[in-house]
Amino acid sequence: MNLRILKSKLTYIFVVLGISVSVSCAQDRKGVDEQYLKNFLTIYNYVQQYYVEEVDQKTLYEGALKGMMESLGDPYTVYLDVQDMRGLTDTTSGNFYGVGLSISKANKSTPDKPAYVDVVSPIENSPGFKAGIQAGDKIIEINGDPTPEMSMEEVLSRLRGPRGEPVEVTILRGKTVTFKKILIRDLIQVPTIEYTMIGKIGYMRLIQFTPDTAPGVEKAINYFEQQGGYDGLIIDLRNNPGGLLDSAVKTADKFIDSGVIVSTKSRIASENKTFSATKKATIVDKGTPIVVLINKGSASASEILSGALKDYHVAYLVGERTYGKGSVQQVLPLFEKDGTNDGIKLTVARYYSPTDCNIDKIGIPPDMEVKMGNYSDEETATFIKLAEERVIEKYVEEHPSMTEDDIAAYAQELKKTYNMDIRLLRRLIRVETLRTKKAPVYDLDYDVQLVEALKIVKNPNFSSLVKSTKSLKQLQAEAEASENKE
């Protein structure tokens, strides 16, 4: 890559971003911007000619773009090399080889706050999910190398790879408990939705927002009606890391018949958009009792849907505060002559709920908080010991046809040696027995959040209950007032 090609690439970036200035410093652009560009090209050329060793032009080019993106301090704004661009295409197409963890990572790492890899959520039935990795865990090492100084692209390239090859991750859970897991890379198929009836309640779990999500929701509603109708709905968004904004809008439109679903605001005029509901697309009757399940693994498009349903008092939220990703990214490819391309992913806007609230780095609180067992460090250490010694795995291998009564009896036996919550022990045994089978859509024995959601959706006073909830605007105003008093 010579200086002429570098200039061409930089010019392309500025044109795409709507900045009317060329790298040759057009006459109509003066001042600091012009000087910075001149300095950059001068230093690039100087390093090429005088550095003690011969320098690969591509290395300088990629380093410059990585530094530019990282200087913004936004974990979602990154440089994407050719491999990253291919991986992004794989992810959005729904298939790739990896460990099945939706992750995020801060750009800046300090001794006081290392930039570990945050697990937003595991993908259902993936290697990461089966290994027991949870939303909120942190990956502190990959194959023995610390993650704080790795870029997001390095992390992804290490976690992905050929099918069947192992990768070792070191997990930090809570503040003190660490453990290692060896994950065998496999085909990751990005799932969309699962649904079934729980009595007369329609239950749908939205796993990720893809082009298939909204049609999947419509299929679920049709299925519920074919089963004799439904008295209420539960929409499970737990551990749903998001996906396509358009998919979230189309899904929300199934439940909301009018008004703004979400708006995006940017300093770029073309990115200031409003997405509104249409009565024609709505398929759920107004007043239908709806409960939405959320947790810290619910992010991005999940928060668009749950925020809209909350602001319009259409649904009651149960669970835990969501992740808090309220920004919109664009991928800008930078074309090479050989047909392959690198690119950048840039945050171009923030999205706002119907009551004009942005939840970035804040999240959405539930109307009723129900936590899924916050286990002590001692219980977590016991869980790790169980996993490392393969106690349950070995037992299930020897008893492949365990019934629910068998699971309950073995859990009681295990508790004599491993002092853990009995529901969790039953859950661990149940998951192991179903490892090679299709897991059930829900688990009422273990899932206290779902149990509470069922109670609420069946509440005869549901209409009054959901109308009494506060919009995101009211909640943020109260939080700001509280901060001002302090």
One-letter identity of residue 451: V
Query: Cα separation of 107 and 73, whole Å?
Result: 6
90 is catalytic: no
Which of 300, 302, 306, 471 does the annotation list as catalytic?
300
Look at residue 479 and give its three-state secondary structure: helix
Which of 118, 311, 367, 447 does the annotation list as catalytic?
311
Phi/psi of residue 272, nearest 5 degrees: -85, 100
Is the CA virtual torsion 421, 423, 426, 430 positive or negative?
negative
CA dihedral 98, 103, 104, 108 (to 10 degrees): -60
Phi/psi of residue 472, nearest 5 degrees: -60, -35
Query: Cα separation of 184 and 433, whole Å?
Result: 19
The residue written with tokens 């795409």 in the block is 16
Query: Cα separation of 162 and 160, whole Å?
Result: 7
Residue 461 DSSP symbol: T
Q: What b/e sequence results for 62-78 when a residue is b if at least 16 CB atoms lie within 10 Å of its CB, and e otherwise?
A: bebbbeebbeeebbbbb
CB within 8 A of 478, min separation 6: which ones? 470
Is the CA virtual torsion 321, 351, 73, 478 positive or negative?
negative
Helix segments in 253-300, DSSP class H: none
Residue 471 DSSP symbol: P
325 is catalytic: yes
Look at residue 146 and give its three-state secondary structure: strand
Is the CA virtual torsion 13, 16, 22, 27 positive or negative?
negative
Query: Cα separation of 407 and 227, whole Å?
Result: 31
Which of 66, 296, 325, 345 does the annotation list as catalytic?
325
300 is catalytic: yes
Contact 316, 469 (CB under 8 A): yes
The residue written with tokens 């992810």 in the block is 91
Q: How far apart are the first and last CA of the chain?
A: 57
Query: Residue 485 burial (CB < 10 Å; 0-12/13-18/19+)?
Result: exposed
Q: Which residues are catalytic?
A: 300, 311, 325
